Amino acid sequence: MEIKAGDLLSEINIPADLRALGKDKLYQVCEELRQFIIDTVSVYGGHFGASLGVVEMTVAIHYVFNTPYDQLIWDVGHQAYGHKILTGRRNRFSTNRKYKGLAGFPSRFESEYDTFGVGHSSTSISAGVGMAIANKYKGEKDRQHIVVIGDGAMTAGIAFEGMNHAGVSDTNLLIILNDNCMSIDPNVGALKEYLTDITTSHTYNKTRDEIWNLIGKIGGTGAQKQLSKLEASLKSAITKSSNIFEALNLRYFGPVDGHNINRLIEILEDLKHIPGPKLLHCITTKGKGYHLAERDQTKWHAPGLFDKVSGEIFKKIAEKPQPPKYQEVFGLTIVELAKKNPKIMGITPAMPSGSSLNIMMQAMPGRAFDVGIAEQHAVTFSAGLATQGLIPFCNIYSTFLQRAYDQVIHDVALQKLHVVFCLDRGGLVGEDGATHQGEFDLAYLRIIPNMIVSAPMNEEQLRNLMYTAQLENQKGPFSIRYPRGEGVLADWRRPFTEIEIGTGRKISDGEDVCILTLGTPGNFAIEACRKLRTDDIFAAHYDMRFLKPLDEKLLHEIFKRFKKIITVEDGVIKGGLGSAILEFMSDNNYSALVKRLGIPDKFIEQGSPKELYHECRYDADAIEEAVRDMVKEKVSVKVKY
């Protein structure tokens, strides 16, 4: 289906085309851009509310600044759809987040207008400071650097580290704080209250308006001098809330209406001529221009396909009961366990609805915490809870736990604290692409002393691993990783059973080839074995369940019996299950033909999980093909690690 752009938008192929328009045309450009996003996302899917909220900001920035020479960085890249459309990608925007299409986030490999790759949050200020200092060093003193960071992203430590450096950098850096009180879920914490104080301060707003009017009258260097004279009185009149930015030596301007396109252009034009690091505080509404998205901002963060007129979100209608999402199983199970064990606490860094910890937050508000976009804090906060005898379930997306790796090692594992890491979205997550694939956790957790690393093959195993992890006989860190989306068992809610640590299980027996799987790819192997049996090829299949500790007793039996082994994992094959099996083989002087299936040594871009499993060659078809090829191999050809 072709999505048609409006009369003005259809003529804008690069920002230079936008800058050729008169200011009186920009309101219409904003309306057409907003409608194009609504039309496209309703039909093709993607993130929704965030980009609608920054339409005017996007148009104003590209209108005032000479992008791409002036460098624009979008923090939390799902708010950059309008940016992509205005920078030469309108005709391909329907491929956004699709296999071999546009990335869902800004990417340096995609466009010169995407100056920094962003998917994880809060990195923009640090990157902007680096760019600004580099260009100053090269003598490009006229080059501007604009950072757009959401208020939710301000809670991460790296944002404060970046501001701390920016304040003494003496660079042309403008930080635009997009304040809509939202990340995916509503923002939390003291910083949110800080920003609310600023926006409701009558004293400050009165002073602010007077200053901006003065800028408009005087203009140029005169405005700079007048602002310098007024700076002391401004600081005394301003509420204490804004001092967090002023104290870091960032000139603070705002708050301003982020949807008033003409006002934004006036302000940005003035700020462009004020030297040094600055912060402009813009108030916006996530989902602006689509009333349902404005009213329920969490639901419409990424709603899937929907009818743009009625607002009906299209859901698959199943003829029989369907398996739940792993996230739902986690959310319901932790509440069930917490009712029995008063020591259990829940922690998530800004993902309560995505991870389903919101179920516990509603049922037990004093025992479940959203700490904001602050993964390092989430892990060390969990460690603190554990020192006092509590059992924190720290639920973090696999890709985001990377941001707290030192805390996992130093604050949890080194002290052998009983923290349960529930790693959501492990493996290939699909359309979010390379920044969000949870491909590394198995490998990077496996090397940490004291860490138990497990992966359930289905929902029942997830429940039982969660049950096992909170038992009193567990003394150290315990990780459980599971994928995004639907599982495989409709009938999953069964009585809890303890799983012995470091034990695997036989799924099916066979003769010549043995398949070892970890986690959900075990279901691919079941399908492959079923197809192979139709041709009288019988492969043994074992679900390892634990990457660390390995079931060495089981592996001794396997290597004594089989000379052809295939390992399958939903993670990087360098350092994961396959590597662990080869190490075991070498350490114990076994020899066998070992084929490793998993994610290859490269970053995997966006696409549906099915497409990506096929690309990485560890889906059911790939396992079946590997078994058939291995059956043909001569046993005399042996590979030793």
Which residues are part of the catalytic machinery?
286, 375, 403
Residue 255: cis peptide before it, omega within 30 degrees of 0: yes
Q: From CA 150, how far away is CA 50, in angstroms rounded?
A: 9
**Sheet strands side by side (includes 539-543):** 505-508, 539-543, 513-518, 564-572, 593-599
3-state helix, strand, coil in the chain (%, to 5): 45, 15, 40
Q: From CA 239, how far away is CA 198, in angstroms rounded?
A: 7
CB 189 within 8 A of CB 68: no
Scan for tokens 């004594």, then name that residue: 560
The secondary structure of 551-585, three-state, reads CHHHHHHHHHHCCEEEEEEEEECCCCHHHHHHHHH
List the one residue out of 113, 49, 102, 41 whose CA is nearest residue 434.
Answer: 102
CA angle 265, 271, 277 (to 5 degrees): 140
Q: From CA 447, how far away is CA 603, in angstroms rounded?
A: 21
For residue 397, the surrounding DSSP H or E stretch is strand 391-397
The DSSP letter of residue 79 is: G
Q: From CA 327, how far away is CA 396, in angstroms rounded?
A: 11
List the one residue out of 432, 433, 437, 609 whose CA is nearest residue 47.
Answer: 432
Q: From CA 248, how far away is CA 590, in angstroms rounded?
A: 61
β-pairing, 593-599 vs 564-572, is: parallel
Cβ neighbours around 68 below 10 Å, total: 16
Amino acid (1-letter code) at residue 543:
D
CA distances from 302 to 316, 431, 521, 611 (A): 16, 12, 27, 21
Determine the 3-state secondary structure of 435 from DSSP.
Answer: coil
Amino acid (1-letter code) at residue 270:
D
CA angle 358, 359, 364 (to 5 degrees): 95
Q: From CA 242, how far away is CA 253, in angstroms rounded?
A: 10
Q: From CA 181, how far away is CA 192, in angstroms rounded?
A: 7
In degrees and rounded to multiples of 5, residue 438 shows phi and psi of -95, 60
Q: From CA 540, how far away is CA 184, in angstroms rounded?
A: 44
